[in-house]
Every structure is written in structure tokens, then in C-alpha cells.
Amino acid sequence: MKSYLETGREVAEALASGRPVVALESTIISHGMPWPKNVETALLVEETVRANGAVPATIAVIEGVLKAGLERSEIERLGKAGLAVIKASRRDLPRLVAFGLDGATTVAATMIIAAKAGIRVFATGGIGGVHRGAETSWDVSADLEELAHTQVAVVCAGAKAILDLEKTLEFLETRGVPVIGYGTDELPAFYSARSGLKLEEREDEPEGIARRMIATWGLGFPSGLVVANPVPASMSMNPDIIEAAIGDALKAAQTARVKGKEVTPFLLAKIKELTSGESLESNIALVLNNAALAARIAVEYARLMRAQPQSAVC
């Protein structure tokens, strides 16, 4: 792996000394927002992680090298290239490595690289899931399968609202992936704090999440965890307004014959247009909120791991 994976110096030093580290994805830079808002947001997310006591590790593939901890110049490289950068999931990583290409990592690919680097906590906006109409299209994000067998805790505002949230939650339950509401008893709906879908688990403190991580992996369970953190109330959008925008965006995608991994960025861009930018501001707020919580969880996880007897460490 050493020839394929490069860990940034600050991240490597933090991991070696048992200090908290938070992984961050890079599709939000290339495919989630326009330049220069994408780079500004990525740097602000890193600052938020630092302000809450952890080291940020933005993850991507640069010239065929899996990177855990990007330099500012590399973040700007992805931001300026935008949609020209390959949106990289699990299946894309070998191709990028083989041919020395750049790739912005999805939740699935970020989890893979984070786990290989030894990073256990990851902050993102929302996970992928079961797309609406999947009963005929079979469009299900690779994020869900990755969560089933990669030991990383993913802090998110639920699954992206463009998805079938009920089916996504059912898929995760079937694959044995814990979905833990942070300060909530129901699954957040990305732009909105509530979905009406009840969760089986709730935690109100970062320490509780960290203890759940240690117990899950100490028992040898292979799955990650989803920490569902609602968007701040002040930035939570009216569910009726966002649902109407999603419906119109889905129709536009069907008319334009958008398929596969291009669906999500197309829909998010269309929803931003239909909501006059309100959805983008909500998206930024929830990403920052998730980064802050992920850092606090990473701090507690590092503290508890230091106190663990060596035999209990997975």
C-alpha cells in the first residue's frame, strides 16, 4: 500500500501519536459547488475541524496517488477543474491509480482511503443511498455497501434528500449498519431536520458515539456507523418547498437523460437553481455542522482508545 497511499505529514504525525483525525471527502469540492465557493467551503470545513480539536484530512486521488490530507494547492486544483475531475467511487480507484489520474472521492472511496490510512471518523454532507425509482432502475449508491464492510463512522445529515429515504434506511438495516441519531429520534432529511422516519438508536453526546464505535469494532463487526446529525434549525428548509424542487429536478434529469453517477450532481445543481441558492446555503451549514461534530467524536474516540487495554483494540 505504501506505493499507492500518501498520508499528509500533519495527518501522519497525528495518527502516529494517537491524536484525533477527521477524514473529509472531495466530491463536494469538484461536483458539489461552483468555483470559488467550493474551495472556500473546503478550507472552512478544515478550519472547523481544527477549531473543535482534531486534524482534518481531506481525501482525494491526485495523479494516481491515494491521498489522505491534501495541500491547499491540491484542493484548489480540484476546485478549479470542477466537473472535469473524475467522480471516484470504489470501482474507480484502481483505474485512477493505474493511469495516474485525478479523482474526487465519494463517500465510498473516502471511507476506503480513510480506513487504509487508519482514520476512523469521517464528516460529509449526506450519504448516497437508494434512488427514487430504484425498483426499476436498480440505482443504489455504492456508499451503502461500503458502510456494510468498512470500519469508519460517517457523520452526515442523513442521506441526500433526492433519494428514497425509507428504502435507504431499510437497506442499511438489512446490511447491519447502525444508524444513530445525534440528538434526534428520526432520520434527518438532509436539507430538513426531520423526515418522519424513526431511528432505533439515539445519542446526545460525542462520547456515546465513540463508545459505540469501540464496542462495534472491538466485537469484530465489519461495518461502519452512520451518525445522523440534523442540519441546524436556523438553516433547516421547509420540507414542502424542497420536495417540490426535488420533483421538478427529477423531471429535468429524466428529460435530459442523466444517468448513473452524474444524477446526484445534476439534481443538486438544479435544486440550487430552483430554490434561488437557499439549498446551497443549507448544504454548507450542514457540512460545517457535521465537521464540528465529527471532530468532537474523534477527540472522544482518541481519548477512549488511549485508555483501552491493548487486547481490546481492534
Of the pLDDT bands very low, low, confident and very high (cuts 50, 70, 90), residue 211 is very high
Q: How far apart are CA 179 and CA 223, in angstroms?
A: 11
Examine the pLDDT at 136 and tell me if it is beyond 90: no
Domain boundaries, the chain: 5-312
* HEC letters along the chain: CCCCEEECHHHHHHHHCCCCEEEECCHHHHHHCCCCHHHHHHHHHHHHHHHCCCEEEEEEEECCEEEECCCHHHHHHHHHHHHHCEEECHHHHHHHHHHCCCEEECHHHHHHHHHHHCCCEEECCCECCEECCHHHHCCECHHHHHHHHCCCEEEECCECCCECHHHHHHHHHHCCCCEEEECCCECCECCECCCCCECCEEECCHHHHHHHHHHHHHCCCCCCEEEECCCCHHHCCCHHHHHHHHHHHHHHHHHCCCCHHHHHHHHHHHHHHHCCCHHHHHHHHHHHHHHHHHHHHHHHHHHHHHHCCHHHCC
Q: How far apart are CA 121 and CA 168, in angstroms?
A: 21
Kindly list the catalytic residues: 25, 160
pTM over 0.75: yes
Which fold, 5-312? Answer: Indigoidine synthase fold (3.40.1790)
Residue-wise pLDDT tens digits, 28-73: 999 988 899 999 999 999 999 999 999 999 999 999 999 999 999 9
Residue-wise pLDDT tens digits, 75-117: 999 999 999 999 999 999 999 999 999 999 999 999 999 999 9
Highest-pLDDT range among 116-120, 138-142, 269-273: 116-120
Examine the pLDDT at 164 and tell me if it is beyond 90: yes
Examine the pLDDT at 268 and tell me if it is beyond 60: yes
Of the pLDDT bands very low, low, confident and very high (cuts 50, 70, 90), residue 313 is very low
Of the pLDDT bands very low, low, confident and very high (cuts 50, 70, 90), residue 2 is low
